[in-house]
């Protein structure tokens, strides 16, 4: 029982990161109509910019400790938003009416460009990154139905869950109650109809790219203390983010978050069984195959989300 609860305690924050990554990927897919394979790599560059800003603050002696981290985070987030807007304006906008395959190839090319730039401008070395919430973990102990319960919660995991919850609620409010949210939803559902009612779809696409890459930067900053900072630090997170979007359904943005939570918990629960050690990824992708075969629109997609 303790092992299962501990697996859930670790899997939920991990899955929240997959879900946020998947949310951004699904957002771009619904708006631009392409799968962004450079998603995590563009965020990785922004994380490196954040780390360089931290080191600059520390080197100049202006800030110390976590003050430097929290002062550098806005720089990284803004750089992610700028990357998103530039990718859309300079590249995607020029080919989105030509061929979906062209857009896909551009994202694959950007993946290599961002990875090469990180190696050239910074280095392929692994760099440490400060935790958002450092300190000793919290230990919960109590009596349960099946005996004594003891679960350890890492402080950084608690920060991840809180941040993920705040972002999810903020995105829900943005999409449902604001004009830009309504414009994004209209653009994703019917681009021609959106233009007919006066929505500037080019502007909406740029905003979508900015939001999506910024969310990926948040994920990167939260992952960095665990993986450390290096050019491929978000490769697995991006892959599982795409998986979360597939599992939840690309037609349901928040389905990607639920899909990420399922994957994160499943990944940790599988570790409980020694016979399945090392097969976590295989089991997750077997689940994805089943979903694609029996419910290709995703398990959280609305009925109208099914496409012929």
At 113-143, the pLDDT tens digits run 999 999 999 988 899 999 888 878 888 877 6
Among residues 1, 264, 10, the alpha carbon closest in space to that of 137 is found at: 10
Position with higher pLDDT, 26 vs 1: 26
Among residues 213, 156, 133, 225, the alpha carbon closest in space to that of 16 is found at: 156
Judged against a pLDDT cut of 90, whether residue 19 lies above it is answered with: yes
pLDDT at 145: 62
pLDDT at 283: 87
Judged against a pLDDT cut of 90, whether residue 21 lies above it is answered with: yes
DSSP 70-116: HHHHHHHHHHHHHHHHHIIIIIIHHHTTT-HHHHHHHHHHHHHHHHH
292-303: pLDDT as tens digits: 888 888 888 766
pLDDT at 304: 54
Half-sphere exposure at residue 206, Cβ-oriented, CA atoms within 13 angstroms = 12
pLDDT at 31: 85
Is the pTM here over 0.95, yes or no?
A: no
79-88, 108-117, 140-149, 260-269: least confident range? 140-149
CA angle 277, 223, 44 (to 5 degrees): 115
Look at the block and give the residue holding tokens 């697996």: 7
Cα gap 30→188, rounded to integer Å: 5
Cα gap 49→286, rounded to integer Å: 37
Cα gap 70→188, rounded to integer Å: 34
Judged against a pLDDT cut of 50, whether residue 305 lies above it is answered with: no
| Residues contacting residue 160 through CB under 8 Å, at least 6 positions apart | 13, 16, 17, 132, 222
Per the prediction, the chain carries an average pLDDT of: 88
Judged against a pLDDT cut of 60, whether residue 306 lies above it is answered with: no
pLDDT at 189: 84
């Amino acid at each position: 029982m303790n092992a299962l609860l501990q697996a859930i305690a670790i899997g939920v924050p991990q899955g929240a990161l997959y879900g946020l990554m998947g949310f951004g990927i699904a957002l771009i897919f619904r708006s631009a109509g392409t799968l962004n394979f450079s998603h995590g790599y563009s965020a990785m560059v922004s994380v490196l910019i954040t780390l360089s800003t931290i080191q600059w603050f520390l080197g100049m002696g202006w800030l110390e400790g976590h003050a430097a981290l929290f002062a550098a985070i806005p720089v990284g987030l803004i750089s992610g938003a700028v990357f998103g807007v530039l990718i859309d304006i300079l590249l995607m906008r020029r080919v989105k009416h030509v061929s979906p395959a062209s857009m896909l190839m551009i994202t694959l090319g950007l993946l290599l460009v961002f990875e090469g730039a990180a190696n050239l401008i910074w280095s392929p070395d692994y760099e440490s990154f400060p935790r958002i919430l450092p300190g000793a973990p919290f230990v919960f102990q109590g009596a349960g139905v099946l005996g004594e319960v003891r679960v350890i919660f890492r402080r950084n995991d608690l920060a991840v869950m809180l941040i993920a919850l705040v972002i999810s609620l903020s995105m829900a409010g943005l999409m449902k109650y604001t004009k830009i949210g309504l414009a994004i939803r209209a653009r994703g559902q019917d681009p021609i109809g959106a233009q007919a009612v006066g929505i500037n779809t080019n502007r909406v696409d740029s905003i979508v790219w900015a939001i999506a890459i910024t969310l990926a930067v948040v994920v990167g900053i939260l992952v960095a203390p665990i993986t450390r900072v290096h050019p491929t630090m978000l490769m697995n997170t991006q892959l599982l983010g795409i998986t979360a979007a597939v599992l939840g359904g690309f037609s349901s943005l928040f389905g990607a978050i639920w899909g990420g939570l399922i994957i994160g918990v499943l990944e940790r629960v599988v570790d409980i069984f020694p016979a399945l050690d090392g097969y976590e990824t295989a089991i997750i992708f077997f689940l994805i195959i089943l979903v694609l075969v029996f419910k290709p629109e995703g398990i959280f997609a609305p009925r109208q989300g099914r496409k012929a």
